[in-house]
Amino acid sequence: MKPTIVRNIKRAGADVVKALGDMGVATVHEAQGRTGLMRPFMRPIYPTAKVSGSAVTVLCHPGDNLMIHAAMEQAKAGDILVVTTVSESTDGMFGDLLAVSARSRGVVGLVIDAGVRDVADLTAMDFPVWSRAIHSQGTVKNTPGSVNVPVVCAGAPVNPGDVIVGDVDGVVVVPRERAMEVAEAALPFLDNIGRERYIRETGKNPWLKKPPGK
Amino acid sequence: MKPTIVRNIKRAGADVVKALGDMGVATVHEAQGRTGLMRPFMRPIYPTAKVSGSAVTVLCHPGDNLMIHAAMEQAKAGDILVVTTVSESTDGMFGDLLAVSARSRGVVGLVIDAGVRDVADLTAMDFPVWSRAIHSQGTVKNTPGSVNVPVVCAGAPVNPGDVIVGDVDGVVVVPRERAMEVAEAALPFLDNIGRERYIRETGKNPWLKKPPGK
Amino acid sequence: MKPTIVRNIKRAGADVVKALGDMGVATVHEAQGRTGLMRPFMRPIYPTAKVSGSAVTVLCHPGDNLMIHAAMEQAKAGDILVVTTVSESTDGMFGDLLAVSARSRGVVGLVIDAGVRDVADLTAMDFPVWSRAIHSQGTVKNTPGSVNVPVVCAGAPVNPGDVIVGDVDGVVVVPRERAMEVAEAALPFLDNIGRERYIRETGKNPWLKKPPGK
Amino acid sequence: MKPTIVRNIKRAGADVVKALGDMGVATVHEAQGRTGLMRPFMRPIYPTAKVSGSAVTVLCHPGDNLMIHAAMEQAKAGDILVVTTVSESTDGMFGDLLAVSARSRGVVGLVIDAGVRDVADLTAMDFPVWSRAIHSQGTVKNTPGSVNVPVVCAGAPVNPGDVIVGDVDGVVVVPRERAMEVAEAALPFLDNIGRERYIRETGKNPWLKKPPGK
Amino acid sequence: MKPTIVRNIKRAGADVVKALGDMGVATVHEAQGRTGLMRPFMRPIYPTAKVSGSAVTVLCHPGDNLMIHAAMEQAKAGDILVVTTVSESTDGMFGDLLAVSARSRGVVGLVIDAGVRDVADLTAMDFPVWSRAIHSQGTVKNTPGSVNVPVVCAGAPVNPGDVIVGDVDGVVVVPRERAMEVAEAALPFLDNIGRERYIRETGKNPWLKKPPGK
Amino acid sequence: MKPTIVRNIKRAGADVVKALGDMGVATVHEAQGRTGLMRPFMRPIYPTAKVSGSAVTVLCHPGDNLMIHAAMEQAKAGDILVVTTVSESTDGMFGDLLAVSARSRGVVGLVIDAGVRDVADLTAMDFPVWSRAIHSQGTVKNTPGSVNVPVVCAGAPVNPGDVIVGDVDGVVVVPRERAMEVAEAALPFLDNIGRERYIRETGKNPWLKKPPGK
């Protein structure tokens, strides 16, 4: 693919992103008709990792993290980097320095169909990462790739600005245009604990007026 | 296989089931001549998971958990669901709702050669699960299978009523008829810590009269 | 995903489909900027398998080939069935009976991110198949899925009507709208043998007037 | 497991073994209710390999082919060696010398959930083998195991004397007691080509009197 | 390989071994030009495992831990056992008894390209292990192998006496002769936190006089 | 590793290289004490591939074949390229153009722990290749690596100038200095067919005077 950097992308509203995160991966996946789930080899680096945000997509050459650096320029508060490579790789493309840089820009997490390193530091920072592998293998910065183009990450299509939800159950992708619709469709899937958490965390109680069936 | 549900199965005595659980997977596997061990891809969803119980076997179509629901009807207190599929699958066939239902019937754990989801909730409930994968992928309830027929789960043959022991070292299957013999054979394999734990937890001291050889 | 069958799809012209097939997977993949390639686990069932055609996409439940039967109704001469499942499976979803049915409608091949069976018969028929596995495991016909919706097959996004090219090097997907542009871009990648084959098989000689660089 | 060699086993009749082999793996698997199939990683070493016979089971220590030598003593004309190891292995436990020895006893094939070597010689001999791997890695002859005990091979339970059918579609196991019943159940699954082959090769025409439904 | 036990090996100095351990796997791997890293399937049995030491190499037959026992005789305080097998295996070759024995000799950890068991006990002992698998499958003690010969472990060449560094990011091997040079080369890779930890733990401040560039 | 190109390497004599090739992988592996074998995932691209030659080692960045081009400059008649990457990759780093170039320099084969493409052309050329994968995925030429440095390829250590033997059973590496000794040690392992082939192809009959013990 011709290397491309797309600078302006649309994102879903912060409210709906937060609501989807509160609901969790399994519920959101159900609510959108069981689509958008990444493969089960994508695991969090620590079991309490939990996040939602807007996708900044990054397409890299294997063993080369040049475009993660480039993507930092395009990231805004609330974004999640979604990194994939043009062919399969487990190299450790992201570590503590990039995490510090990401956090300073408000990036809230990383989903990478490749490897990650400095996991002790990332865990101490509570910077959530879902990856295919933990591997110290370093990378070069030689070969151009793309930022904010459509990608397939761990089997799921991701467009820039899509909502990403990650927790111990995995990672699910919600298309940006459908985010509000999916959040509403998810409400009936919440059990009592989920409803209380939703009300507490969003300050809204959609069950007050319109109690969902079952 | 012609779909079959077997309603009445024999189980081993609660005492011997408990004793085998106290001994742990590695000891029990040794004591029965190194047979009955499941493949190492079967991992607990949290590292302190530890259980023993009687197998209720469930043979499902991949991506279809109809028979787990059917198996609930056959389960009694102290049972462990042992779920396998007619071909390999990582779908999330079991989650928080089924765990609540299982617990209400006294089911003490799940061993599934497929996927599981709602892992944060299952962990909070301390409901122990050993699985091939953690995956949110939902399932349908369309295709009949069998309950309480002989199955092969993660490489190990399991008959209904066999004793299942699981801990951080994996899962081992003890044939029901051999449960007492294996428990006795395991005593000499216990080291001092194991003996003290065994005496404390079972209230019996088989070493008082008949000290086992090294 | 809500089960959906799309009945009318656009296809690329037969000439360009044939030209892309004559060029082969490696050349076409280069010509379109190294995109659209399926993962290397997709292998032909016999080494001389070689085909190009228009994608009729099929999204199935694992272990369930109901939608392959449904897709037959939508297939036309020159089509290739591109079958994937909502989660990973190696079940043998396609065999000799479906191959006979497919051939009778002019379907020229199968690309399936799952299993295939009756391989001796399919080879004798010279019906080309690329699959993840060869497996006799039979399937049911219970659970609805979709035909002619966008899918991800073996890591590559496929839209209905896209051009599929398969040979011993694997499978590549060319977006329908870009088919002509890619075929033209591929001409300079052909070596002398490739050019002679192209001229012989298409009856055209694009090098006569406009010799490509390098 | 306590090392055991069982010397006398029951076998199915030669006629029914031959009939099942003529029908092929996919048909036999269907006819017995889709049970008994080995995992798809079991592949023939050459694509025209095709066999049926009675199982002599061999349970080996990984990297140790002592019991294959021991099993030779128990094998008779028409037998197939079914070899598995107590834990996963890809070592080349069987090569040209053992194949010559096996053939001299009338052994008609090998099914091994491990590795095989001297594949060029075995192919030249037309000695059919299904294995998990081709690997030159040699083995020792140190550790006892068992012959003609129940085993699980590539996911399928095998008892000594069971009928094994192998072809390019994989390997299926038919329990000895059910062999005749399965062969009869398979007749309706044969298409016209299969019926003609069956009549030609068995000299019987079960369709003359009792034409099977579709 | 002809079974061989080498009794006297050279080791790096305790200071440099400690310094490399304080720096961690990712930093050391960078400092030695990105060589010596083991494959990412080598994972610690608990996330806080962290160690450095001198390699005592052990080459075993699969499923046979005879040479681990033999290696104990050769191990000294500060050593790490580096165990590999002549072909791939996941058997549980090491458990609580061997860990107690190892600790009594001052062995500080285990790196094993195979399986380990009694993980709860090893974790309670804080005995750090990196392995390919957790598996209860027991082993025999029949077949000779070698101690302190060059091996390849999880893709990395290891010579006896090489420095092994392990943490949550994996395992890296530093050739003994290069240990001091690598430790010095690693200093500039430390960030402020790493420098403070290095000064605190080694009592040395190499940045006082000779501040590293970049 | 600091990128390095070593220009002059020692090679074993042509006679011994040929003799080892005539003996085949399984015999040579036995003769040198069962060392030097590559992992079983290394498969020939066509079943009759058979070769022996001197290793020119190539260490590449994943997805980057720059150093294969560089290695061509160092290759001589009778050499085999042994290509590995600093981390795992299946990219198609070698195709028809490189094969033509290699053949023109007298290179007799390729062993690559990565992918290969244009397999139909390579097969038609009878250019033997052993690889981890067949994949069309193209590579870049950006990142320096090394030629003729020690590498680990598919689990086996390879030094430049070592003798490589490949056939349908896999690939084995014979250290250059031991080549003659291994060839002599292999003679007793040949059976009658192997001896006749050896005499016919080398014109020597070492069994005339000194008949080897079984």
pLDDT for the residue numbered E197 = 74
Backbone angles phi, psi at C137, to 5 degrees: -50, 120
Q: Does the pLDDT of residue A165 top 70, yes or no?
A: yes
Band of pLDDT at residue E211, cut at 50, 70 and 90: very low
Instruction: Give the SS3 label for residue E87.
Output: coil
Q: Does the pLDDT of residue B203 top 90, yes or no?
A: no
Residue E192 neighbours by CB under 8 Å, 6+ apart: none
DSSP H stretches of helix in F6-113:
14-23, 25-31, 66-72, 96-104
Instruction: Specify the pTM.
Output: 0.93
CA distance A174 to A25: 10
Using CB atoms, pick whichever of D26, D43, D193 lies closest to residue C117.
Answer: D26
Residue showing tokens 């200071």: E15
Residue A105 neighbours by CB under 8 Å, 6+ apart: A72, A75, A76, A77, A79
Which residues is E83 bridged to in the sheet? E58, E112
Q: Chain E interface, mutation test: which of D59, D60, D86, D87, most E Cβ atoms within 10 Å?
A: D87
Sign of CA dihedral A158, A161, A162, A164: positive
Cβ atoms of C131 and C49 within 8 Å: the answer is no
CA distance F93 to F86: 14
Q: What is the pLDDT of residues A119-148, one digit of tens each?
A: 999 999 999 999 999 999 999 999 999 999
Residues of B whose CB is below 8 A from E95: 26
When pLDDT is averaged across residues B44-67 and rounded to a whole number, the result is 97
DSSP C166-189: EETTEEEEE-GGGHHHHHHHHGGG
pLDDT for the residue numbered D214 = 41
Q: Does the pLDDT of residue E126 top 60, yes or no?
A: yes
Closest residue by Cα to residue A35 from C6, C146, C72, C176: C146
Closest residue by Cα to residue F214 from F184, F190, F195: F190
Interfacial A residues in 3-32 facing F (CB < 8 Å): none
When pLDDT is averaged across residues F66-79 and rounded to a whole number, the result is 97
Closest residue by Cα to residue F114 from F94, F130, F133, F129: F133
| % of chain A exceeding 70 in pLDDT | 96
A101-105, D125-129, E14-18, F207-211: least confident range: F207-211
Closest residue by Cα to residue A172 from A157, A194, A190, A161: A157
Q: Does the pLDDT of residue A214 top 60, yes or no?
A: no
Instruction: Specify burial of residue A63 (Cβ count, 10 A radius: 0-12, 13-18, 19+).
Output: buried
pLDDT for the residue numbered C206 = 77
Closest residue by Cα to residue E132 from E117, E149, E147: E117
When pLDDT is averaged across residues D12-38 and rounded to a whole number, the result is 95
Regarding chains E and C, contact by 3 or more CB pairs under 8 A is answered as no
A138-147, D43-52, F81-90, F181-190: least confident range: F181-190
DSSP E26-69: HHHHHHTTS-SBPPTT-EESSTT--EEEEEEEEEE-TTB-HHHH
CA distance B66 to C89: 18
Asked if D89 and E87 come within 8 Å (Cβ–Cβ), the reply is yes
Q: What is the pLDDT of residues C46-60, one digit of tens each?
A: 999 999 999 999 999
pLDDT for the residue numbered C211 = 47
Q: What is the pLDDT of residues F19-29, one digit of tens each?
A: 999 999 999 99
Asked if F142 and A142 come within 8 Å (Cβ–Cβ), the reply is yes
- Is any Cβ of chain C less than 8 angstroms from the Cβ of B113? no
Q: What is the dihedral of CA F151, F157, F162, F164, to 10 degrees?
A: -110
Cβ atoms of E36 and E166 within 8 Å: the answer is no
pLDDT for the residue numbered E210 = 53
Q: Chain D interface, mutation test: which of E59, E65, E89, most D Cβ atoms within 10 Å?
A: E89
CA distance A176 to A158: 10
Cβ atoms of A47 and A133 within 8 Å: the answer is no
DSSP F90-123: --B---HHHHHHHHHTT--EEEEEEEE--HHHHH
Band of pLDDT at residue A211, cut at 50, 70 and 90: very low
CA distance B57 to B161: 8
Asked if E157 and F156 come within 8 Å (Cβ–Cβ), the reply is no
- Is any Cβ of chain E less than 8 angstroms from the Cβ of D64? yes
Residue F202 neighbours by CB under 8 Å, 6+ apart: F15, F18, F19, F22
Q: Does the pLDDT of residue C214 top 50, yes or no?
A: no
pLDDT for the residue numbered E205 = 79
Residues of A whose CB is below 8 A from E169: 92, 117-120, 134-136
Q: Does the pLDDT of residue D26 top 80, yes or no?
A: yes
Band of pLDDT at residue B43, cut at 50, 70 and 90: very high
Average pLDDT, chain A: 93
pLDDT for the residue numbered C1 = 67
When pLDDT is averaged across residues C123-149 and rounded to a whole number, the result is 97
Average pLDDT, chain D: 93
Q: Which residue of A has its CA nearest to C33?
A: A1
Residue showing tokens 């996946």: A29
CA distances to B81, E51, E164, F2, F87 from E35, rounded to whole Å, are 47, 19, 13, 10, 10
Residue showing tokens 């560039």: E213
Query: How far B188 CA lies from chain E's nearest CA (Å)?
Result: 14
When pLDDT is averaged across residues A21-45 and rounded to a whole number, the result is 96
Q: How many CB pairs under 8 A join A and E?
A: 45
For chain F, what's the residue count?
214
Q: What is the pLDDT of residues B149-174, one digit of tens each?
A: 999 999 999 999 999 999 999 999 99
Q: Which residue of C has its CA nearest to A156?
A: C152
Asked if F118 and C26 come within 8 Å (Cβ–Cβ), the reply is yes
Q: Does the pLDDT of residue C210 top 80, yes or no?
A: no
DSSP H stretches of helix in chain A:
14-23, 25-31, 66-72, 96-104, 119-125, 179-186, 192-202
When pLDDT is averaged across residues D122-146 and rounded to a whole number, the result is 97
Asked if F88 and E1 come within 8 Å (Cβ–Cβ), the reply is no
Q: Does the pLDDT of residue E143 top 60, yes or no?
A: yes
pLDDT for the residue numbered D2 = 85
Closest residue by Cα to residue A132 from A79, A81, A89, A80: A89
When pLDDT is averaged across residues D160-187 and rounded to a whole number, the result is 96
- Is any Cβ of chain E less than 8 angstroms from the Cβ of A205? no
pLDDT for the residue numbered D209 = 59
pLDDT for the residue numbered D179 = 96
Residue showing tokens 């750090």: E128
Residue showing tokens 């990565």: F114
Q: What is the pLDDT of residues D83-113, one digit of tens each?
A: 999 999 999 999 999 999 999 999 999 999 9
Band of pLDDT at residue F211, cut at 50, 70 and 90: very low
- Copy the structure tokens of residue C4: 């959906």
Q: Report chain F's terminal Cα–Cα distance, integer Å.
A: 46
Q: Does the pLDDT of residue F66 top 90, yes or no?
A: yes
Residues of D whose CB is below 8 A from F44: none
Residues of E whose CB is below 8 A from B25: 117, 136
pLDDT for the residue numbered F199 = 78
In whole angstroms, what separates CA B82 from the centre of its chain?
A: 6
